[in-house]
Amino acid sequence: MYHKQVHILAVLGSFALILIVLWDAFEVIILPRRVRRKFRLTRFFYRGTWRPWSAVAKRISSNDRRELLLSFYGPVSLLFLLSMWAAGLVLGFACLYRSLEIPIKMEDGGTGFLTYLYFSGSTFFTLGLGDVLARSWTGRLLTVLEAGMGLGFLAIVIGYLPVLYQAFSRRELNISLLDARAGSPSTAAELLRRHFDGDQFVELSAFLREWERWAAELLESHLSYPVLAYYRSQHTNQSWLGALTTILDATTLVMVGIDGTPAHQAQLTFAIARHAVADLSHVFNTKPQSPPKDRLPPEELGRMRSNLGRNGIFLQDGDAAVQKLNTLRRMYEPYVHALSEYLLMPLPSWEVALRSADNWQTSAWERIAHL
């Protein structure tokens, strides 16, 4: 009786492992929406691997080397996640074969658990070696099921990767375009200066409208595929979080009051950008927290206001304007700061501290020449 109960529990445990892996893969790859459930294999996987990876990166003093290490995490973690799913399914079927005591035939006569594990692996990856065979109809049916699951898993992975990298490419396109429009690294004040020709803000409304759409696409793609958040930009002074923060900063200044700027469009862009950082902060369980150091202290605000004024751009002054500026900042800065701390992506400043060449004005050859 006890032996029978153990077999039943083993069978149920094997089925549970297979279903857990399949459901987790379904939620990550196929389900196009945010998953709110806390207990997930993928959630535990990324929490368990990102923390030690980021801890090692923090110990690297060189910014370029640190970014290089961090840039590997997204692709490498994806490969390990797919491998974990495959290993879980192979193990689940091996345990199922063993718990059901499926009779198998092997050339060397082995019948231990390692034999069942080898049989499950060769079946899942449809190797077709033929050196291990199931000798019962139950085993043959399970073999067909596992082989079909292996082919389906491979097909889904092949279809998943192009979708992921297309979303990454669309995200990076606008970040690259921001280089010439807001500097490297980008700042809100520089963005406004480069869209002002001395008389009017050229294409600023169209620019903000385009970034409203970009923020919406970022929200959709990164909620559906959170692994994209770990993918770094091509240059160390660029990131999706930095770009989004720059847009939030710039729209905040426009909403506070700058003559000739599209205030209504700025409100629309601010709304979707703030929505994106708030939702993504929830996805990565990064509790909103105010930065320990004010990103825009009064003296920095005065310097930015003075620099903009010299270019003919006049930011609304007075206590009411400062209060509105601080109110808008409190709506998003705690979220972007929390994401910055978690993802190790530095936030941009409001004003350029030191003039430097944009990324488009330099090249790898020039950097090598100065080493």
Q: Per-residue pLDDT tens for 250-271?
A: 999 999 999 999 999 999 999 9
Q: Which long-range contacts (CB under 8 A, 24 or more apart) does 177-184 make?
A: 178/238, 178/243, 178/246, 179/235, 179/238, 179/358, 179/359, 179/360, 180/358, 180/360, 181/207, 182/246, 182/250, 183/352, 183/358, 184/235, 184/237, 184/238, 184/356, 184/357, 184/358, 184/359, 184/360
pTM: 0.87
Longest CA pairwise span in the chain (Å): 90
pLDDT of residue 371: 39
What is the per-residue pLDDT for 9? Answer: 85
- Predicted confidence at residue 3, as pLDDT, reads 57
Strand partners, 105: 133
Backbone angles phi, psi at 241, to 5 degrees: -70, -40
The per-residue pLDDT for range 62-115, each reduced to its tens digit, is 888 999 999 999 999 999 999 999 999 999 999 988 888 888 877 666 667 888
How deeply is 327 buried, as exposed, middle or buried, from its count of CB atoms within 10 A (0-12, 13-18, 19+)?
Answer: exposed
Give the C-alpha separation, 337 to 165, whole Å: 26
In 3D, which of 143, 199, 153, 121 has the Cα closest to residue 25? 153
Query: What are the residue ranges of helices labelled H in the chain?
Result: 2-25, 41-58, 63-99, 113-124, 137-182, 188-194, 204-224, 240-257, 263-283, 298-310, 319-330, 333-343, 364-369
Does an H or E element contain 134, and which?
strand 132-134
Residue 258, amino acid: I
Residue intervals of the chain classified under CATH 1.10.287.70 are: 2-158
Are 28 and 42 contacting, i.e. CB atoms less than 8 angstroms apart? Answer: yes
* C-beta atoms surrounding 69 within 10 Å: 16
Structure confidence at residue 296 (pLDDT):
93
CATH topology of domain 2-158: Helix Hairpins (1.10.287)
Query: Is the CB of residue 238 less than 8 Å from the CB of residue 172?
Result: no
The per-residue pLDDT for 39 is: 78
Got the DSSP string for 166-182?
HHHHHHHHHHHHHHHHH
Pick out the chain residues at pLDDT < 50.
2, 368-371
Q: Looking at residue 365, what is its pLDDT?
A: 55
* Cα 14 from chain centre: 32
